[in-house]
Amino acid sequence: MPVVKPFSTIAEMFDVITRHFIDSDKPAYLYKVAGVYKPLLYKELREMVELTACGLAALGLKKGDKVGIISENRIEWIIVDFAMTTTGIIDVPVYPTLTAKQIEYIFNNAGVKATFVSNQVQFSKVEKIYDQVKTLDKVIIFTEKVIVAPDYLLSLKELMELGRDFKEKNPDYWINMIKEIKPEDILTIIYTSGTTGEPKGVVLTHKNLVSNILSATQVVPMTPEDTFLSYLPFSHSFERMAGFYAAFACGGIVALAESIDTIAQNLLEVKPTVMTSVPRLFERLYNRIIKGVEAGPAIRRKIFYWALDVGKKYVQASKRGKVPAWLKSQYALADKLVFSKLKERTGGRIKFFVSGGATLAKELGEFFEALGIKIIEGYGLTETSPVLTVNRLDDYKFGTVGKPIPGVEIKIA
C-alpha distances (whole Å) from 245 to each of 30, 78, 345, 370, 375 are 15, 10, 27, 31, 20
The pLDDT score that the predictor gives to residue 195 is: 65
Question: What is the Cα–Cα distance from 299 to 19, expressed in whole angstroms?
Answer: 56
DSSP-assigned beta bridge partners for residue 307: none
Q: What separation in angstroms does the CA of 122 have from each of 70, 158, 231? A: 7, 18, 19
Radius of gyration of the chain (CA): 23
Has domain 10-254 been given CATH number 3.40.50.12780?
yes
Residue 411, classed as helix, strand or coil, is: coil
Of 266, 262, 280, nearest to 227 (Cα)? 266
| 3-class DSSP string for 333-401 | HHHHHHHHHHHHCCCCCCCEEEECCCCCCHHHHHHHHHCCCCEEEEEECHHHCCEEEECECCECCCCCC
Cα dihedral 4, 268, 256, 74 in deg (nearest 10): 160
In angstroms, the CA 381 to CA 330 distance is 43
Say which residues have a Cβ less than 8 Å from residue 289's Cβ, sequence separation at least 6: 342
d(C-alpha 75, C-alpha 35), whole Å: 14
Strand order of the β-sheet with 36-41 is 36-41, 27-33, 253-256, 227-230, 274-277, 352-355, 375-380, 387-390, 403-404
Contact 303, 337 (CB under 8 A): yes
- For the chain, which residues make up each domain, given as ranges? 10-254, 278-404
Strands (E), 118-161: 138-141, 153-155
pLDDT (tens, 9 = 90+) of the chain, 413 residues, equals 589 999 999 999 999 999 999 999 999 999 999 999 999 999 999 999 999 999 999 999 999 999 999 999 999 999 999 999 999 999 999 999 999 999 999 999 999 999 999 999 999 999 999 999 999 999 999 998 777 789 999 999 999 999 999 999 999 999 999 999 999 999 999 999 866 788 999 999 999 999 999 999 999 999 999 999 999 999 999 999 999 999 999 999 999 999 989 999 999 999 999 999 999 999 999 999 999 999 999 999 999 999 999 999 999 999 999 999 999 999 999 999 999 999 999 999 999 999 999 999 999 999 999 999 999 999 999 999 999 999 999 999 999 999 999 999 999 88
d(CA 351, CA 374): 7
- Of residues 398, 281, 395, 301, the one with CA closest to residue 346: 281
Cross-strand partners of 378:
390
Q: What is the DSSP letter of 72?
A: -
d(CA 32, CA 45): 16
Looking at residue 18, its amino acid is T
Q: Structure pTM? A: 0.96
Residues 275 and 285: their CA atoms lie apart, in Å, by 14
Nearest in space to 204 (alpha carbons), one of 182, 186, 228, 179: 186
pLDDT at 90: 99
Amino acid at 151: D
